[in-house]
Amino acid sequence: MTAAPLAAFLAELDALRADAAAAFAAVTDSSALEAARVEFVGARGGRLKAIQKLLGGLDVADKPAAGKHFNDAKTAIADLLAAAQARLAGATAADDGGGIDVTLPGDPVPRGHFHPLTQTVRRVQEIMGRLGFESVDGPEVEDQWHNFEALAIPAEHPARDPLDNFYLAVARGSDPLLLRSQTSTVQIRVMEQREPPLRIVSLGRVYRPDTADATHYPMFHQVEGLLVEPGTTMAHLKSVLRLFASSFLGGDVHVRFRPSFFPFTEPSVEVDMEWGGRWVEMGGAGMVDPAVLAAVGYDPDAVTGFAFGLGVERIAARRYGVADIRDFYRNDVRFLRQF
Ligand code: DAH
C-alpha cells in the first residue's frame, strides 16, 4: 500500500477548515451550534477525528509537517466553536433585555411624601370640609383695605406699624401694598363676593418681621375660619373648634376661651386647647364684629357669624411633638423623613 500523498492530506485539512468556518458562522441557535460541533469536532465520527486517522497513513518523513498543520487546524476550529458560542450567548442576553439580568432584585426608588406642614394643611381642610367649610385661597400680597381697614383696624392702630409689617415699595393708588400679616383678609374677600350663609376655611402663608426663634418665624401659616349664618352663637364656635381639635389631635380635646380683644370680633377670645394634660394657646376667635359686617355690605342687624384664626405651625408642632418651629423650614431630610 502506497502512502497517501501529503498534498492530498493538506488539501483535505484546508477544506475542513473552510467548511467549519462557514458552518460555525451560519449557526443562529444552540441546536444548530451543537450539530456543527458534533460534525466537526465530535469525538466519534467527527470530521476532524476522521482526518486525524489519515495521519497514520502518511509517509514518515511527512508526518511532522502534517502533524503541525493538523494541530493548527484543530486550534482554529476550536476557536471558531468558541466564537460561535460567545456570539449566541450575547444574543440570548440581548433578547432578555439588553444584557440586564431581569431576575436580580431591582434598585429601590425612595418614595417621597408631602412636607409635614402641607400634610397638616390638607388634614385641616379635610376635617373642616366634613363640617361643611369650603376651602378658599386669598392673595399673599394685600392692600390696606383687606389686611386692615375692613377688619376695623384703623390707620393709627399699632398693628399697622411699618416695623410690624412687610410693606412693599409697590402701591395701589396712594396705598402701599404689603405681604399679608394675617389670613383674616380672606374673610373680607369672601364676604365681599358672596351672600350668607357662608362656611369657609382659608389656609396659607402670612408674614411678619419677627426674629426667628423656637416659636416665631418671619413667615408662617394660619387657618382662618368663618361661618356666617342666622342665629350663630359662641357655643357654635366652641363646638366647631372642639370637633376640629378632637379630629385633628385625636381623643377628647378640651377647648378653653379666654377673654381677649381683636378689632374684627366682638366678643373676642384667645383659644386654648388641652391635649395630653397640657394647655396650649392655638389662636384667636370671636363673633364677627358688626363693623366688619357693615364694611362688606351686610346688614349688621340681620347677620351673625363667628371667625377664628389658628397657627398651623402651632397645631402641627403640638400634634407631632416638635419643639422648634424652625425645624419645619430647614429642609433637613432627617427631620422631614419622620412624618
Ligand atoms: N388674625 C388674628 C391674628 O393673626 C387671629 C384671629 C383672631 C383670627 C380672631 C380670627 C379671629 O378670625 O376671629 O392674630
Three state DSSP letters for 240-302: HHHHHHHHHHCCCCEEEEEEEEECCEEEEEEEEEEECCEEEEEEEEEEECHHHHHHCCCCCCC
From 153, 184, 261, 265, mutation site for ligand 1 pocket: most ligand atoms within 8 A of C-beta:
184
CA neighbor of 119 nearest in space, from 290, 319, 265: 319
- pTM for the model stands at 0.71
Which residue in 63, 43, 45, 42 sits closest to 54, CA to CA? 63
pLDDT at site 3: 53
| Phi and psi, residue 56, nearest 5° | -65, -25
Q: Is the pLDDT of residue 121 over 80?
A: yes
> % helix / strand / coil in the chain, to the nearest 5?
45, 20, 30
**How close is the Cα of 289 to the center of ligand 1, in Å?**
12
Is a pLDDT exceeding 80 seen at residue 209? Answer: yes
54: part of which helix (H) or strand (E)?
helix 47-55
Question: CA nearest 269: which of 256, 285, 255, 281?
Answer: 285
Which is nearest to 147 in space by CA: 200, 100, 198, 184?
A: 184
3-state secondary structure of 150: helix
Instruction: Tell whether the model's pLDDT for residue 14 goes beyond 50.
Output: yes
In the three-class reduction of DSSP (H, G, I as helix; E, B as strand; rest coil), residue 7 is classed as helix
What's the rounded Cα separation, in Å, for the pair 271 and 46? 98
Angle of the 234-249 helix axis to the 312-320 helix axis, nearest 10: 40
Q: How far apart are the CA of 6 and the centre of ligand 1, in A?
A: 111
Distance 183 CA to ligand 1 centre (A): 8
Residue 18 has pLDDT above 60, yes or no: yes
pLDDT at 117: 98
Please identify, by atom number, the ligand 1 atom nearest to the C-alpha of residue 224: 12
Structure confidence at residue 1 (pLDDT): 47
Taking 50 as the threshold, does the pLDDT of residue 339 lie above it?
Answer: yes
Residue nearest to atom 7 of ligand 1 (CA): 284
Kindly give the distance from the C-alpha atom of residue 188 to the centroid of ligand 1, in angstroms, as a whole number. Answer: 13
Place of cell 497513513: 57
What CA–CA distances, in Å, run from 66 to 48, 49, 219?
Answer: 13, 14, 94
> Mean pLDDT across the stretch 21-45?
91
C-alpha cell recorded at residue 9: 492530506
Which residue minimizes the CA distance to atom 8 of ligand 1? 309
Residue that the C-alpha cell 417621597 belongs to:
112
Q: Which helix (H) or strand (E) holds 172?
A: strand 166-172
Euclidean distance between CA atoms 275 and 192, whole angstroms: 37
Q: How far is the CA of 171 from the centre of ligand 1 (A)?
A: 25
Beta bridge partners of 265: 262, 288
Distance 176 CA to ligand 1 centre (A): 22
Is 20 strand, coil or helix? helix
Q: How far is the CA of 109 from the centre of ligand 1 (A)?
A: 43
Q: Which stretch of 49-53, 137-141, 210-214, 257-261 has the lowest confidence by average pLDDT?
A: 49-53
**Number of C-alpha atoms within 13 angstroms, CB side, residue 128?**
24
Q: Could you tell me the distance, in angstroms and rounded to a whole number, from the CA of residue 170 to the centre of ligand 1?
A: 26
Q: Could you tell me if 285 and 268 are in contact, meaning their C-beta atoms sit under 8 angstroms apart?
A: yes
The one-letter code for the residue type at 244 is F
> 153, 182, 226: which to mutate for ligand 1, most atoms within 8 A of CB?
182
Query: In testing the pocket of ligand 1, which one of 151, 262, 272, 304 has its CB within 8 Å of the most ligand atoms?
Result: 262
Where does ligand 1 bind, in terms of residues with CB under 6 Å? 182, 184, 224, 262, 265, 283-286, 307-309
CA distance 85 to 37: 10
Protein residue closest via CA to atom 13 of ligand 1: 285
Question: Distance from the CA of 208 to the center of ligand 1, in angstroms?
Answer: 14
* Residue in 288, 308, 313, 314 to alter for ligand 1 test, most ligand atoms within 8 A of Cβ: 308
Instruction: Look at residue 30 in the predicted model and tell me its pLDDT.
Output: 87
Helices 63-95 & 47-55, crossing angle to 10 degrees? 170
What's the whole-number mean pLDDT along residues 81-85?
Answer: 90
